[in-house]
Amino acid sequence: MKTSRIAVIPLAALALTLGACGSDTDPETAAAVPPPAAKPTVQPEQSPVDPTAKMARAVGSGKPGAAVDIKYDFKDRPEVGKPVEVKIAFIPGAGVESLEAKISDMDGITVAGGLNPQFNNVQAGQPYEHTFSLLANRAGVFYVSVEVTTHFGEASTARTFAIPLAVGDIAAEQGQKKKSAPTRDATGEAIESMPAKET
Amino acid sequence: MANRLCQSFSRSWRWSALFLCTLLAAGCGGGGGPSTVDPGNPPPPSTSVTVSGKVTFDRILFAPTGEGGLDPNSPIELPARGVVVEAVSGSSVIATTTTNELGDYSLTVPSNTPMFIRVKAQMLKTGASPTWNFRVLNNTTGQLYALVSSTFNSGTSDSSRNLRAASGWTGSSYGETRAAAPFAILDTVYQAKELIHSAASVNLPPLDLFWSPSNAPTVARFCVQDGDIGTTFYWFGGDDPDDCGDPVPEGIYILGNFSVGDTDEFDQHVIAHEFGHYIEETLSRSDSIGGSHGPDDKLDLRVAFSEGWGNAFAGMVLNDPVYRDSYQGNARDFSFDLEQDSGGQEGWYSEDSVGEILWDLFDSGTESGDSIALGFGPILNAMRNGQRTTWALTSIFSFLEALRDEVPSQSAAINQLRNGEQISGTDAFGTGESNDGGDALNWPVYRSVALNSGQQPFCVRVQSGTNIENKLGFSKFFRLNLASASTVTIQVVGTADPGTPGSVAAQDPDVWVYRQGVPIAFRETVGQTEQLSQIQLSAGTYIIEVYDYELVAGPTPRCMTINVTGT
Q: What is the pLDDT of residues B91-145, one digit of tens each?
A: 899 999 999 999 999 999 999 999 999 999 999 999 999 999 999 999 999 999 9
The mean pLDDT value for B383-397 works out to 98
Q: Which residue of B has its CA nearest to A55?
A: B238
pLDDT of A180 reads: 61
pLDDT of B172 reads: 93
The mean pLDDT value for B271-281 works out to 98
The answer to whether residue A58 sits within a structural domain is yes
Do B404 and B465 sit in the same domain of this protein? Answer: no
pLDDT of B292 reads: 86
The answer to whether residue A136 sits within a structural domain is yes
Q: Which of B290, B481, B293 is nearest to B392 (CA)?
A: B481
| Domain final residue, candidates B395, B419, B435 | B435
pLDDT of B191 reads: 98
Q: What is the CATH number of the domain that holds B36?
A: 2.60.40.10
The answer to whether residue A111 sits within a structural domain is yes
Residue contact A64–B149, C-beta within 8 A: no
Distance CA B267, CA B262 (A): 10
pLDDT of A175 reads: 53
Do A36 and A50 sit in the same domain of this protein? Answer: yes
Most confident of B241-250, B335-344, B376-385: B376-385
Residues paired with A91 in a beta bridge: A69
Distance CA B113, CA B124 (A): 27
Do B135 and B7 sit in the same domain of this protein? Answer: yes
Query: Is-contact B564 A69, C-beta < 8 A?
Result: no
Do B48 and B164 sit in the same domain of this protein? Answer: yes
The mean pLDDT value for B370-376 works out to 94
- Interface residue of B83, B124, B176, B292 to substitute, partner A, most A CBs within 10 Å: B292
The answer to whether residue B241 sits within a structural domain is no
Do B547 and B446 sit in the same domain of this protein? Answer: yes
pLDDT of B419 reads: 96
Do A24 and A82 sit in the same domain of this protein? Answer: no
- The shortest C-alpha distance from A16 to chain B (Å) reads 5
Do B446 and B411 sit in the same domain of this protein? Answer: no
Do A105 and A156 sit in the same domain of this protein? Answer: yes
Element spanning B309, H or E? helix B301-318
Pairing state of beta strands B447-449 and B475-482? Answer: parallel
The answer to whether residue B257 sits within a structural domain is no
List of residues 6+ apart from A172 with CB closer than 8 A = none
- The shortest C-alpha distance from B167 to chain A (Å) reads 11
B291 touches chain A (CB under 8 A): yes
Chain B from 246 to 285: CB within 8 A of any A CB: 246, 257, 259-262, 264, 270, 273-274, 277, 281-285
B320 touches chain A (CB under 8 A): no
Chain A from 82 to 121: CB within 8 A of any B CB: 91-96, 102, 104, 106-107
Distance CA B225, CA B229 (A): 9
Give mean pLDDT in consecutive 10-residue pieces for chain A, a chain of 199 residues: 49 32 29 29 33 46 90 94 96 91 95 96 93 96 95 88 90 56 76 95
Element spanning B314, H or E? helix B301-318
Phi first, then psi, for residue B505 (nearest 5°) are -75, 140
Do A33 and A130 sit in the same domain of this protein? Answer: no
Do A156 and A84 sit in the same domain of this protein? Answer: yes
- Interface residue of A61, A91, A123 to substitute, partner B, most B CBs within 10 Å: A61
Domain that holds residue A108: 68-173
Lowest mean pLDDT, pick from A10-19, A104-113, B44-53, B228-237: A10-19
| Domain final residue, candidates B412, B435, B458 | B435
The mean pLDDT value for B389-395 works out to 98
pLDDT of A171 reads: 63
The answer to whether residue A53 sits within a structural domain is yes
The answer to whether residue A51 sits within a structural domain is yes
The mean pLDDT value for B517-540 works out to 96
Do A120 and A45 sit in the same domain of this protein? Answer: no
Do B478 and B418 sit in the same domain of this protein? Answer: no
Do A165 and A98 sit in the same domain of this protein? Answer: yes
Do A75 and A168 sit in the same domain of this protein? Answer: yes
Do B477 and B427 sit in the same domain of this protein? Answer: no
Domain count, chain B: 3
User: Which residues does chain B have within 8 Å of residue A104's beta carbon, measured at their own beta carbons?
Assistant: 261
pLDDT of B45 higher than 60: no
Domain count, chain A: 2
pLDDT of B240 reads: 75
pLDDT of A153 reads: 80
Residues paired with B494 in a beta bridge: B560
The answer to whether residue B14 sits within a structural domain is yes
Q: Which residue of A has its CA nearest to B295?
A: A64
The answer to whether residue B517 sits within a structural domain is yes
| Domain final residue, candidates B408, B435, B462 | B435
Sign of CA dihedral B15, B17, B20, B25: negative
The answer to whether residue B225 sits within a structural domain is no
Residue contact B467–A12, C-beta within 8 A: yes
Give counts: helices (H), strands (E), chain B: 10, 28
- One-letter amino acid for residue B421 of the chain: E
Do A129 and A164 sit in the same domain of this protein? Answer: yes
Phi first, then psi, for residue B436 (nearest 5°) are -100, 10
Give percent of chain B above pLDDT 90.
85
pLDDT of B456 reads: 97
A179 touches chain B (CB under 8 A): no
Q: What is the CATH number of the domain that holds A153?
A: 2.60.40.10
Strand positions, DSSP E, B316-471: 322-327, 332-337, 447-449, 456-460
pLDDT of A131 reads: 96
- The shortest C-alpha distance from B499 to chain A (Å) reads 27
pLDDT of A36 reads: 31
User: Which residues does chain B have within 8 Å of residue A92's beta carbon, measured at their own beta carbons?
Assistant: 466
Do B453 and B554 sit in the same domain of this protein? Answer: yes
Do B407 and B489 sit in the same domain of this protein? Answer: no
Element spanning B192, H or E? helix B180-199
Of B93, B142, B310, the CB nearest to A187: B93
Do B425 and B453 sit in the same domain of this protein? Answer: no
Helices marked H in chain A — which ranges? 5-13, 53-57, 171-179
- The shortest C-alpha distance from B244 to chain A (Å) reads 9
Do A100 and A52 sit in the same domain of this protein? Answer: no
pLDDT of B283 higher than 80: yes
What number is the ipTM of this complex? Answer: 0.86
pLDDT band at B367 (very low <50, low <70, confident <90, very high): confident
Q: Which residues of B485-499 are buried (b: 16+ CB within 10 A; e: fewer)?
A: ebebebbbbbbbbee
Strand positions, DSSP E, B90-228: 92-98, 104-110, 114-125, 132-138, 143-148, 152-153, 159-160, 163-165, 207-211
The answer to whether residue A84 sits within a structural domain is yes
A136 touches chain B (CB under 8 A): no
The answer to whether residue B218 sits within a structural domain is no
pLDDT band at B250 (very low <50, low <70, confident <90, very high): very high
pLDDT band at B257 (very low <50, low <70, confident <90, very high): very high
Do A106 and A45 sit in the same domain of this protein? Answer: no
pLDDT of B134 reads: 98
- Mean pLDDT, all residues of chain B: 91
Do A11 and A44 sit in the same domain of this protein? Answer: yes
- One-letter amino acid for residue B323 of the chain: Y
Do B417 and B516 sit in the same domain of this protein? Answer: no
Residue contact A186–B286, C-beta within 8 A: no
User: Which residues does chain B have within 8 Å of residue A143's beta carbon, measured at their own beta carbons?
Assistant: 216, 218, 257, 259-260
Other C-beta atoms closer than 10 Å to the C-beta of B245 total 9
Lowest mean pLDDT, pick from B15-29, B74-88, B94-108, B248-262: B15-29
Domain that holds residue B511: 442-567
pLDDT of B533 reads: 96
List of residues 6+ apart from B507 with CB closer than 8 A = B494, B528, B548, B549, B550, B558
Phi first, then psi, for residue B16 (nearest 5°) are -65, -35
Q: Alpha-carbon Rg of chain A, whole angstroms? A: 22
- The shortest C-alpha distance from A130 to chain B (Å) reads 17
pLDDT of B39 reads: 46
B488 touches chain A (CB under 8 A): no
> Higher confidence at residue B13 or residue B567?
B567
A172 touches chain B (CB under 8 A): no
The answer to whether residue B460 sits within a structural domain is yes
List of residues 6+ apart from B206 with CB closer than 8 A = B132, B133, B134, B135
Do B15 and B149 sit in the same domain of this protein? Answer: yes
Cβ-Cβ contacts under 8 Å between A and B: the total is 400
The answer to whether residue A182 sits within a structural domain is no
Of A4, A70, A95, the CB nearest to B219: A70
The answer to whether residue A19 sits within a structural domain is yes
pLDDT of B35 reads: 43
